[in-house]
Chain A
Amino acid sequence: MSTTTLPPTEKTQPVSAPPGGLSDRSKAERRLGWRLAGPAFVVMLAVTAYPILQAVYESLFSYRLTDPANRTFTGLTNYWVILTDSLWWQSILVTVFITVVTVSVELVLGFALALVMAKALAAIRPVVRAAILIPYAVITVVSAFAWQFAFDINTGFVNSWFAWLPGVGTDTDWFGDKWTSLLVICLAEIWKTTPFISLLLLAGLAQVPEVLQEAAQVDGATWWQRMWRVTIPNMKAAIMVALLFRSLDAFRVFDSIFIMTGGANGTESVSFLAYRQTIARLEIGLGSAVSVLLFLLVVAIAIGFIKGFKVDLSQARGE
Chain B
Amino acid sequence: MPNAAGHERPGRGSPTGPRSGRGSRRRAVAGAAALLVAAGTLAACGSGGGGATTLTWYINPDSGGQAEIASRCTDAANGAYTIQTAQLPRESSQQREQLIRRLAAQDSSIDIMSLDPPYIPEFAQAGFLAPIPDDVAGRVTQDVVQSAIDGSTWDGKLVAVPFWANTQLLWFKKSVAEKAGLDMEQPVTWEQLIKAAEAQKTNIAAQGIRAEALTVWVNALIESAGGHIIEKTADKPEDIQLGLTSPAAVQAATVMHDLAASGVGGPAFTTSGEDANVTDFEKGSASFMVNWPFVWGRALSAVKAGTLAQSVPDDYGWTLYPRVDADKPSAPPYGGINLGIGAFSTNVDGAFQAAECIVSEQNQAYYFTTNGNPAAKASVYDDPEVIKVFPQAPVIRESLEMAKPRPQTVYYSEVSGALQREYHPATAIDPEQTGKKANDLISSVLSGDQLL
A contact residues vs B (CB 8 Å cutoff): 62, 65-68, 77, 81-82, 85, 87-88, 141-142, 145, 148-149, 152-155, 171-173, 175-176, 258-265, 273, 276-277, 279-283, 286, 290
Chain B proximity of A261: nearest CB distance (Å): 5
A155 engages B122 (CB within 8 Å): no
A176 to B271 Cα, complex, angstroms: 6
CA–CA, A88 to B451, complex, Å? Answer: 8
| Cα A283 to Cα B452 with chains together (Å) | 11
A173 CA / B427 CA spacing, docked (Å): 13
Q: Are B28 and A81 in contact (CB under 8 A)?
A: no
Give bound CA distance, A265 to B421, whole Å: 9
**Given A261-B18, A264-B210 in contact, is the A145-B28 Cβ separation under 8 Å?**
yes
Given known A-B contacts A176-B270, A259-B18, A281 and B104 have beta carbons under 8 A apart: no
B261 within 8 A of A: no
Taken together as a complex, chains A and B put the C-alpha atoms of A261 and B421 apart, in Å, by 13
Shortest distance from the beta carbon of A96 to any chain B beta carbon, whole Å: 18
B14 an interface residue at 8 Å Cβ cutoff? yes
Collect the chain A residues with CB atoms within 8 Å of residue B16's CB. 258, 261-264
Interface members, chain B 438-452 (any A CB < 8 Å): 448-452
Interface residues of B (CB under 8 A from A): 14-21, 24-25, 27-28, 31, 93, 97, 100-101, 104, 122, 125-126, 128, 209-211, 267-271, 276, 279-280, 410, 413-414, 417, 424-425, 448-452
Known: A261-B18, A264-B209, A264-B425. 4 other contacts (CB 8 A): A77-B448, A81-B448, A281-B413, A283-B448
B448: chain A residues at CB < 8 Å are: 62, 77, 81, 283, 286
Complexed CA–CA distance, A176 and B427 (Å) = 10
Point out the residues of chain A lying under 8 angstroms from B425, CB to CB. 176, 264-265
Given A259-B27, A264-B16, check contact A176 B93 (CB 8 Å): no
Instruction: State in angstroms the CA–CA spacing of A77 and B449 once bound together.
Output: 9
Q: Which residues of B contact A276 (CB under 8 A)?
A: 417, 451-452
- Asked if B270 and A154 sit within 8 Å, CB to CB, the answer is no
Name A154's contact: one of B14, B122, B279, B449 (CB within 8 Å).
B279
A-B contact count (CB 8 A): 122
Some 21 contacts from A to B, beta carbons below 8 A apart, are: A85-B451, A87-B452, A88-B451, A145-B27, A149-B21, A152-B20, A153-B276, A154-B276, A155-B21, A155-B24, A173-B271, A175-B271, A260-B18, A261-B17, A262-B16, A262-B210, A265-B210, A276-B417, A277-B451, A280-B417, A281-B414
Q: Known contacts A155-B21, A260-B18, A262-B211; is A66 also within 8 Å of B125 by CB?
A: yes
* A290 CA to B451 CA, complexed, in Å: 10
Known contacts A66-B126, A171-B267, A173-B267, A85 near B450 by CB under 8 Å: yes
Contact check: which of B31, B101, B269, B452 meets A141 at CB < 8 Å?
B31
Are A259 and B24 in contact, with the CB atoms below 8 A? yes
Taking a contact as CB atoms under 8 Å apart, the answer to whether A262 and B14 are in contact is yes
- Is there contact, CB below 8 Å, between A145 and B15? no
Sort A-B residue pairs by CB-CB distance and give the 3 closest, nearest first: A262-B16, A171-B267, A264-B210
| With known contacts A81-B449, A141-B28, A264-B424, A154–B104 Cβ distance under 8 A | no
Inter-subunit contact A155/B270 (CB<8 Å): no
| B18 pairs with A66, CB closer than 8 A | no
User: Contact: A155 with B267, CB < 8 Å?
Assistant: no
Contact B451 A153 (CB under 8 A): no
- Contact between B417 and A148, CB atoms less than 8 A apart: no
User: Smallest distance from the beta carbon of B204 to chain A beta carbons, Å?
Assistant: 16
Tell me if B18 and A148 are in contact (CB < 8 A).
yes
Bound Cα distance A88, B450 (Å)? 10
Determine if B31 and A280 form an interchain contact, defined as CB atoms under 8 angstroms apart.
no
Provide the bound-state CA to CA distance between A149 and B271, in Å.
Answer: 13
Chain A residues positioned under 8 Å from B15 (CB to CB): 262, 280
Kindly list chain A residues whose C-beta atoms are within 8 Å of the C-beta of B424: 264-265
Bound-state Cα–Cα, A202 to B129, Å: 57
- Neighbour of A173 across the interface among B21, B24, B270, CB < 8 A: B270
Task: Tell me which residues across on chain A come within 8 A of B410, comparing CB atoms.
Answer: 66
Complex: A87 Cα to B452 Cα, angstroms: 8
Distance in angstroms from B344 CB to nearest chain A CB is 14
Question: Which residues on the B side are within 8 Å of A172 (C-beta)?
Answer: 267
Q: Give the complex CA separation of A68 and B410 in angstroms.
A: 14
A173 with B268: in contact, given A142-B28, A262-B16, A263-B16 (CB under 8 Å)?
yes
